[in-house]
């Protein structure tokens, strides 16, 4: 199955209540699959092709107000249009899942894969002091697995969760074990606006608070959630890191390619390991910091001009060298050029 299709099928199987999407390459298969598979008939899931990504995210907001599992998917330019809505979800403390099958930018950029939305996803998905959880799948299997995970996290924290994929993972085909079907929810959270219950107070959902002291408190509450995410939700994978002298750090498609470069280096007798952040926020900084105490250097591999490298440098501090390699603007690096870059940085006597 294609990554995009596996993600869509997982959404049906895990009882997602609503999907709102606007066509954009390279993720249009998600919307197509849900409509061609008649998700509405299979589970009662609402699937709607919207007039814009702005409408999509605000429909996610509306369905989330009703306590439903609602999601949208798009690619980079469309995600930019959703920024305001993601910020509203965070401000109003609503759960929602946003999938970004990223492509190269800036602007219309290209329809080819890229990882140049790392800053946007992890640092500034919208205005205001907020964070969203970011999951980075590196396989078709994870495209499927991360749907239920994303919703569990979104509801646990009442916060937007982004699945930050890329055109490679979205478009490639692999074998996949699909999740066991789970029924759609029949009971909804106590905060949901589904009609005032007799004898109970009405519910209101808003991100507005005009009283600064109260709004500061609200922000402090949000910050406490983000600290809890950092304490409880870090996910990562290590490959040959045990005895490694050097660590390549890569997520998503880049991690797949880098794992081959690691094997090629090992074949040459160079002890390199791969560290793959699975959550980009919270970033596995403590784990990378621990590695920095015993290795000689890091190489961040991203299909961007170097964005995640800033988080690695923050984690590593002055302990170790951190270098970046990556093709970008829609190009995908090959293992050979990763190894070449690594050797240039770390194996040559005055390598830089």
Residues that bind another protein (CB under 8 A): 17-18, 20, 46, 48, 50-52, 54-56, 58-63, 65-66, 68, 70, 84-85, 88, 92, 193-198, 202-208
Report the relative pairing of strands 279-281 and 133-135 from DSSP bridges: antiparallel
Q: CB of 158: closest distance to another protein in angstroms?
A: 14
Q: What angle do CA 98, 5, 64 make, to 5 degrees?
A: 30
* Identity of the residue, 99 or 291, whose beta carbon is nearer to another protein in the bound complex: 99
Beta carbons within 10 angstroms of residue 213's beta carbon: 8
Paired tokens of 266: 């090992």
* Identity of the residue, 23 or 109, whose beta carbon is nearer to another protein in the bound complex: 23
Q: CB of 91: closest distance to another protein in angstroms?
A: 10
Query: Cα–Cα distance between 206 and 265 in angstroms, integer?
Result: 53
Contact by Cβ (8 Å): 179, 13 = yes
Q: CB of 117: closest distance to another protein in angstroms?
A: 22
* Identity of the residue, 206 or 242, whose beta carbon is nearer to another protein in the bound complex: 206
Q: CB of 185: closest distance to another protein in angstroms?
A: 11
Q: CB of 9: closest distance to another protein in angstroms?
A: 21
Query: Cα–Cα distance between 257 and 255 in angstroms, integer?
Result: 5
Q: CB of 163: closest distance to another protein in angstroms?
A: 20
* Identity of the residue, 83 or 319, whose beta carbon is nearer to another protein in the bound complex: 83
Q: Which residue has the tokens 């996610």?
A: 60
252-267 and 335-346 are packed helices; what angle lies between their axes, rounded to 10 degrees?
A: 60
* Identity of the residue, 56 or 171, whose beta carbon is nearer to another protein in the bound complex: 56
Q: CB of 303: closest distance to another protein in angstroms?
A: 32
* Identity of the residue, 72 or 171, whose beta carbon is nearer to another protein in the bound complex: 72
Beta carbons within 10 angstroms of residue 323's beta carbon: 19
The backbone region for 252, taken as left when phi is positive above 0, alpha when psi lies in -120 to 50, beta otherwise, is: left
- Sequence-separated contacts (24+) of 305-313 with Cβ below 8 Å: 305/116, 307/115, 307/116, 307/118, 307/119, 308/115, 308/118, 308/249, 308/251, 308/277, 308/280, 311/122, 311/283, 311/285, 312/249, 312/288
Whether the CA torsion 149, 70, 190, 121 is positive or negative: it is positive
* Identity of the residue, 17 or 117, whose beta carbon is nearer to another protein in the bound complex: 17
Q: CB of 214: closest distance to another protein in angstroms?
A: 13
* Identity of the residue, 92 or 264, whose beta carbon is nearer to another protein in the bound complex: 92
């Amino acid at each position: 199955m294609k990554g995009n299709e596996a993600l869509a099928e997982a959404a049906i199987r895990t009882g997602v209540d609503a999907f709102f999407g606007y066509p954009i390459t390279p993720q249009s298969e998600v919307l197509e699959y849900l409509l061609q598979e008649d998700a509405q008939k299979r589970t009662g899931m609402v699937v709607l092709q919207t007039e814009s990504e702005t409408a999509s995210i605000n429909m996610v907001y509306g369905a989330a107000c009703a306590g439903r599992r609602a999601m949208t998917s798009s690619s980079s330019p469309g995600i930019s249009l959703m920024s305001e809505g993601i910020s509203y979800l965070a401000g109003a403390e609503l759960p929602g899942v946003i999938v970004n099958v990223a492509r190269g930018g800036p602007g219309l950029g290209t329809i080819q894969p890229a990882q140049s939305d790392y800053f946007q996803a992890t640092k500034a998905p919208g205005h205001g002091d907020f964070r969203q959880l970011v999951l980075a799948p590196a396989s078709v299997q994870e495209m499927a697995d991360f749907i239920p995970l994303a919703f569990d996290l979104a509801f646990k924290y009442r916060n937007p969760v982004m699945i930050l994929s890329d055109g490679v993972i979205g478009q490639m085909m692999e074998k996949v074990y699909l999740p066991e079907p789970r029924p759609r929810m029949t009971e909804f959270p106590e905060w949901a606006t589904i009609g005032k219950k007799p004898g109970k107070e009405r519910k209101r959902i808003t991100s507005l608070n005009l009283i600064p002291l109260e709004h500061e408190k609200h922000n402090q509450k949000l910050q406490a959630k983000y600290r809890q995410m950092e304490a409880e939700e870090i996910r990562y994978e290590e490959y040959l890191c045990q005895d490694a002298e050097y660590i390549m750090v890569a997520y998503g498609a880049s991690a797949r390619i880098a794992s081959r470069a690691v094997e090629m280096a090992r074949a040459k007798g160079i002890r390199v390991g791969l560290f793959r952040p699975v959550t980009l926020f919270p970033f596995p900084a403590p784990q990378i910091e621990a590695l920095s105490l015993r290795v000689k250097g890091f190489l961040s591999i991203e299909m961007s001009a170097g964005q995640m490298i800033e988080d690695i440098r923050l984690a590593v501090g002055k302990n170790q060298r951190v270098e970046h390699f990556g093709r970008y603007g829609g190009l995908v690096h090959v293992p050979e050029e990763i190894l070449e870059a690594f050797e240039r940085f770390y194996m040559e006597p005055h390598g830089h």
